[in-house]
Amino acid sequence: MTESNESPPRKSVTRERIDELVHSLSIEERAALTGAIDAWHPAGAPSIGLKPMLTLDGPNGVRRVTFPEGSSATCTPCGTGLGATWDVALVAQVAKRIGFEAKRAGVDYMLGPVINLVRSPLGGRVFESYSEDPVLAAKLGAAYVAGMQSQDVAACPKHFVGNDSETRRTTVNCIIDERTLREVYLVPFEAAAGAGAWSMMAAYNRVNGVHCTGNQELVGGILRDEWGWDGVLMSDWHATNDTLEVMTGLDLEMPGPAKQLGPHLATAVRRGEVDEGTLNRAAARILTLAARTGALREGAPDATAEAGGAATRAPEGSTPVLLSDPEGAALVRRAAAESFVLLSNHDDILPLATADLRRVAVVGPNAATPCIQGGGAAHIDAPYAVSPVEGMRAALPPSVEVVHEPGPGIDLFLPPLTRMGLTDLEGQPGLTVEWWAGQEPVGRPIARYNVPSSTLHMFGDLPVGVAQDNFFARLSARFTPEMDGPHKIAMRGLGGQRFFVDGKLGADQWAAPAGVDIPTALFEGREHGAAFELEAGRPVLVVAEAHSVSNDPSLMALGCAAPAATDLMAAAVAAAASADVAIVVVGNDEAWETEGRDRKTVTLPGRQNELVERVAAANHRTIVVVNAGCPMHLPWADEVAAIIYAWLPGQEFGHALADVLLGIAEPGGRLPVTIARRAVDYPAYDLTPGPNEVLEYREGVNIGYRAFDAAGVEPRFPFGHGLGYTTFEFESLELASEGRAPGEPLELRIRLRNTGSRPGKEVVQVYVADLESSVPRPQRELKGFSVVRLAPGEVAELAMALEDRDLAYWDTAHHSWRIEPGRFEVAVGRSSRDISLRREFELS
């Protein structure tokens, strides 16, 4: 892209006025803008009416904005779920909804979408990304940006670039060749710049030896100079390495207090190490973003008064902000159904005919404890999570009995203590948390309230009067065991902590240092604990304590495993055997799918494969629902009647699933990733960096399905695959001409008919191949797609056009895009392996 992506600031603040405002500030005030005052607020500038903006995660909803109550924002399907919709308009609508809620909560700046790619199925944050395909990720990412920013909330596509895995993410050195960067990993960011994203986030990792926060080639050269992008480049949390990174185009260091920019930048400018023009440019970009969001209000009486120092905290006694509402719920219910991919449907078992049902078994670990979202920064306080069991019970008439058995568990860590049923010190469900300023619990606590979860994050949103670097916190709860016998109780977390059961020490990590890579330590964790002999019905007091001596994040998470009561596997199989249909809900949980840790295997955790096989052997009408945000191994795929891939579908999971199982809605999803038969078939798998932290992107441009095509390997389910409840036929594909000169768009016309008896959705996929290339190119690359909804018998005529870039490859000799004359093929179909029509054309 050669044209400039600069767009004028909104709210009638002209570029000239921004420059005047920059010059009205001292060097120190300008530099302060490049740092933050706390975990979530970039600094303001009261003299010009700029309040400290509030920035929050993203991307599948608005993270907690009030404390301690939580904000209950609408929880949408995860990235791969949205990717599976292939629906640009729907993704824009979902982002608009999140932007609307963000605005209501006073958030100026949302940290998403994630437009890194699904390189390996093991990536911890695969669930946050859209796809393995750069064009699908680019189009959906651009749609998200537009939807979010329509609400005057900045979008922040992340993480620029090559942050496609989590293992040692702050030190890893991703070796990605020039052509692969251009044709694959930069594509979504180029589209985001083109869509006018007001911000982007620079990643933790290094690319070709240099950290992304200060990578001259990528940031200074490509993002700024070549793409002409004028948005704010912020660092990922704690990702900065050097004050001089500002010179490559980094503008904002997060979180505060700043370690490299902010006051350190002022010093560097005063010393002549950084020129003032660089400082002014960063300040101008930040003010431009603030003007676009409405945070910059010249003449506002006192910008600090409404600033956010307190905006993440609810004043004492205030009502928590409820951001979600029925409209948001209806949208995410529809989006979830649109994301569900029907992978197989033998004998058209789906949709289920309600009239034939008497007893339905909904079994498996995720049937009643669904995983609606992933873990880490993306986790939000959802108002509720409708489980598959609840969804089916609500949708089926009372005459149909819905039975449930969980089967064996899948917990990576001990199950959260809250799952055991706890009461706080006042006898209410949950736990009591108390806070003191300083290192000891001296006197009355500063704050005391109930929390619903035995996992307590202590970062950025602490009660008023409690400093991040000097507090003592205590979590207390009474736990009444249901069983006699040894209970394993353990704690994991970050920072100094310990716990006691009825006064007996369970673990002592009081002197634990903060992790070197704080975010990884936050999400990775190691459990420390002991076995306690407990009696059924006799309550014990569990007390966990933490203290902090630094500004680093702290976390306490308490878990407990009770002795197993029954043979959970046998009970689940028996429930399935006695039902008319068995729905097995398998998958991951938030500990398995999280920021900060890559997985080691694509095998479903615990004994889930055995569960599916035994249920399928007991009931030939077995439908498997996979509740995972990443590709998992499905070795039993040929043994079950139907499979639905449901991703991490957000708060309306159960309702949306019942809609699809009962045929109230179509399963609208198509795979945005390839699901392999064998782990070794994935072009990239293990994500552990080698010597010197090197992680080589050896597969080059052959990411995902392109590698399966190149190797001639049959995937279990190909990229783009997904069935519906009706049938479609591609009737014709016409090219406007059989030849084409560079610079002219090539027009295609595609005719498609719904040949079935139900209304339905098809995703028309257009792939291009260069048949006579002088360099090895993928056998086919997705270049366009369109969602079509047709009534029975209805016909659609779609017009699409291929541009130069759709035919080009990156020529490393000339460092530019190149289109070679010769024969090309356009292939149209319903997956990368199910091509209905092909046409060739000649490029002169």
Of the pair 170, 366, the CB lying nearest ligand BGC is at 170
Reply yes or no on whether 681 is catalytic.
no
Inter-residue contact 651 to 383 (CB < 8 Å): yes
Site string for ligand BGC, 711-750 (x = CB under 6 A): ----------------------------------------
Residues counted in the chain: 844
Check binding of 237 to ligand BGC (CB under 6 A). Answer: yes
Which residue in 271, 19, 272, 274 sits closest to 250, CA to CA? Answer: 274
Inter-residue contact 178 to 162 (CB < 8 Å): no
Of the pair 73, 111, the CB lying nearest ligand BGC is at 111
Q: Give the torsion sign (CA, 388, 390, 395, 401).
A: positive
Q: Which ranges constitute the DSSP H helices of 553-652?
A: 568-577, 608-618
CB of 494 to ligand BGC, least distance (A): 13
CB of 105 to ligand BGC, least distance (A): 16
Inter-residue contact 376 to 125 (CB < 8 Å): yes
Of the pair 158, 761, the CB lying nearest ligand BGC is at 158
- Give the whole-angstrom CA distance, residue 215 versus residue 459: 29
CB of 223 to ligand BGC, least distance (A): 18
CB of 36 to ligand BGC, least distance (A): 11
CB of 338 to ligand BGC, least distance (A): 25
Site string for ligand BGC, 12-51 (x = CB under 6 A): ----------------------------------------
Cα dihedral: 750, 754, 755, 758 (round 10) = 170
Q: What residues pair up with 233 in beta bridges, in sequence order?
A: 200
Site for ligand BGC in 148-177 (CB under 6 A): 158
Q: Which of 218, 377, 491, 579 binds ligand BGC (CB under 6 A)?
A: 377
Inter-residue contact 95 to 41 (CB < 8 Å): no
Q: Which ranges constitute the DSSP H helices of 105-131?
A: none
CB of 597 to ligand BGC, least distance (A): 12
Which residue is nearest to ligand BGC, using beta carbons?
Answer: 377
CB of 256 to ligand BGC, least distance (A): 13
The residue annotated as part of the active site, out of 236, 251, 598, 770, is 236
Check binding of 236 to ligand BGC (CB under 6 A). Answer: yes
Of the pair 74, 594, the CB lying nearest ligand BGC is at 594
Residue with tokens 């439908």: 623
Of the pair 266, 687, the CB lying nearest ligand BGC is at 687
Q: Give the torsion sign (CA, 817, 818, 819, 824).
A: negative
- Give the whole-angstrom CA distance, residue 287 versus residue 17: 10
Inter-residue contact 783 to 806 (CB < 8 Å): yes
The site that binds ligand BGC (CB under 6 A) totals a number of residues, namely: 8
CB of 93 to ligand BGC, least distance (A): 23
Beta strands of 217-284 (E only): which ranges?
232-235
Of the pair 377, 575, the CB lying nearest ligand BGC is at 377
Of the pair 245, 806, the CB lying nearest ligand BGC is at 245
Of the pair 80, 831, the CB lying nearest ligand BGC is at 80
Q: How many helices (DSSP H) and strands (DSSP E) are in the chain?
A: 18, 36
Site for ligand BGC in 53-82 (CB under 6 A): 57
**Backbone phi and psi for residue 498, each to the nearest 5 degrees, phi listed first:** -160, 165
Check binding of 474 to ligand BGC (CB under 6 A). Answer: no
Site for ligand BGC in 105-124 (CB under 6 A): 111
Of the pair 147, 374, the CB lying nearest ligand BGC is at 374
Site for ligand BGC in 488-547 (CB under 6 A): 519
- Give the whole-angstrom CA distance, residue 820 versus residue 842: 10
- Walk across the sheet containing 581-587 and list its strands: 341-345, 642-645, 622-627, 581-587, 359-363, 401-405
Q: Which ranges constitute the DSSP H helices of 578-713?
A: 608-618, 653-661, 705-711
Q: How far apart are the first and last CA of the chain?
A: 22
Q: How far is CA 251 from CA 96, 111, 192, in A?
A: 26, 15, 18
CB of 377 to ligand BGC, least distance (A): 4
Site for ligand BGC in 547-586 (CB under 6 A): none
Amino acid identity at 63: R
Q: Rule CB under 6 A: which residues touch ligand BGC? A: 57, 111, 158, 236-237, 377, 519, 595
Q: Which residues are catalytic?
A: 236
